[in-house]
Chains A and B, each alone.
Chain A
């Protein structure tokens, strides 16, 4: 304080500040380094390997040969006819893509149809009961996915619970074939991914200010208008989050279509697995994986754009 005007002490103060700032930056980098390391090693690294593999030649017994090739990418969409070698669209792949998208969309719609009323129900319970309901919703999550899928199988197979009950009640005479159909896959995935829809929707409904509902009624809205114009737009972010959380893993689902779809109703995940297993075509598997990722990203971008754009025409 007494040396306020002397330059040496001023300089020191500045230097201390500078040193502290540098130290701060250094510390931040140091603190972030485990995260950076993990992201590099376990996220970016494997992804790069997959990209690399997709441009190599398939080895004879799986694995890859280090020879550059676009065959993997070529076979994602195209195939040569076995007999006359003409180029064709790989319709087997296309139908699997299409089934994956169709079933994932169906799963998203079904989880929304069941999940939104469930979330609304939970969010409108007294505070003391809500945690119990949320707990019950998440209980299946603690069980192994394979076990849960087999449980679904137990429900829908020919000698399963549903068919037995229906036969016992004389509603049907012969068991309904549900196993190994698209229905079975959608049913199984809906069951498996339901909590992923319920939780984010619940979170957004819980935050909804019910006085807004009163305000809507006060301003002459009927129930339907109130839901459509006030509740839905406010709850929409939660529904978008839930839809993404359901759609993305559905598109890449592997166990559920494998168990419930049997061998013939393949989905994207099974197709990829096939290339790395029996197919012994790793570059194709890698190219398919990246195609799936791109598909998901495009779908997400489109979704975000559509749902974001809505806001602007809300009220012209």
Chain B
């Protein structure tokens, strides 16, 4: 979408990278992956375990080298540089803090290895401690602080050398829910304050949506879609992406018209609706479409409605209620409505209902 941005705003340029792990059986971890991470953005690699997201991160960090393809950092090829020669730092999943050093010692380590003078180092350490609000624990041993505090030290340690890019490998997965929410906000703040490009790996879709400027959804060694969280959520172009992020209703429909990136689809009921198309638009004919559960509303039964069916089940979730509906085409469909105080809702299990669909809610999928 923004591919016409100037070249110098690209921080990391991954160019058709393939990674094969050779062992007893060869494992194709990354299959011809190309992606660009822009400068100063919070970029997230999202996918289930084993999708290759961590491998891609390790390739950028230098712990692995690509079997094929190139990785560029601000235009220069770093594919074969060892990790200690790359201006890139990592926050590890288990933090990997040095257990025999203090909090300050851990943060200072990278600066010392870079050969900074002592005075400069301690100034940076103090600045980093302030940044992650850990001043009081400066001289504590790593074994004496909590998991959340270790997380902050790991961040401070990786940020201290002021890397061009900070890589974060599922850093929040070991924290409990409350702490995780706090750290999500904290990370966003740190990224904003330091102006460093963040590449964040997670399998948690909510984390990806709330924190990222852009998200790349990965599966089976490939990047399926790259876009803003809103883009990815509202307009997933792939069934996997739609399923992985949020809840989805998939329906069969017929694509009747394609013009200027927009399309028209026809449902089984005969109703015609505007639809968003994936980038490589499919030909006119039968397609799968996606409608998010909250982009549809229940109404009284009407013959003019695009979709009709009967309510199978109603599930109360506190903030909202899910209505499970079997359509006349016998496809399953879920509608999510937000609950209002003191209002039980007008629909019962077994009711015959119709559905309205909000404008711009229909997305045509690639498959």
Contact = CB atoms under 8 A, between A and B. Distances in A.
Interface of A: 209, 211-212, 214-222, 225, 229-230, 233-234, 311, 314-315
Interface stretch (B103-111, B314-322, B337-345): B103-111
B90 A215 contact: yes
Contacts of A221: 84, 109, 113
A221 to B, nearest CB: 5
A220 B102 CA distance: 19
Contacts of A216: 98, 109, 113
A219 B105 contact: no
Contact of A234 (B62, B99, B108, B109): B99
A225 B101 CA distance: 15
B100 A219 contact: no
A288 B89 CA distance: 59
B105 A315 contact: yes
Contacts of A211: 92, 94, 96
Given A220-B113, A220-B114, A234 B100 contact: yes
Contact of B98 (A215, A217, A225, A311): A215
B63 A219 contact: no
Interface in B289-340: none
Most buried by B among A211, A219, A233: A219
A217 B96 contact: no
B208 to A, nearest CB: 23
B148 interface: no
Contacts of A315: 101-102, 104-105, 108
B278 interface: no
Given A212-B98, A315-B104, A219 B82 contact: no
A216 B100 CA distance: 13
B89 A218 contact: yes
Most buried by A among B94, B98, B105, B161: B98
Nearest to B139: A315
B161 A220 contact: yes
B109 A214 contact: no
11 contacts: A212-B96, A212-B98, A214-B63, A217-B63, A218-B88, A219-B109, A219-B157, A233-B100, A314-B102, A314-B105, A315-B102
A214 B63 CA distance: 7
Interface string B149-172: 000000001100100000000000
Nearest to A213: B96
A55 B113 CA distance: 60
B199 interface: no
Contacts of A209: 94, 96
Contacts of B104: 315
Contacts of A217: 62-63, 82-84
B140 to A, nearest CB: 12
Contacts of B158: 218-219
Most buried by B among A214, A216, A230, A315: A315
A232 to B, nearest CB: 10
B100 A314 contact: yes
Contacts of B94: 209, 211
B61 interface: yes
Contacts of B62: 217-218
A215 B113 contact: no
Contacts of B100: 233-234, 311, 314
A225 B105 contact: no
A222 B97 CA distance: 17
Given A311-B100, A314-B101, A315-B101, A219 B92 contact: no
A219 B110 contact: yes
Given A233-B100, A311-B100, A314-B100, A218 B105 contact: no
A222 B84 contact: yes
A212 B92 CA distance: 10
Contacts of B161: 219-220
A216 B109 CA distance: 8
The 5 A-B residue pairs with the shortest CB-CB distance, nearest first, are A315-B105, A219-B110, A220-B113, A215-B96, A217-B83
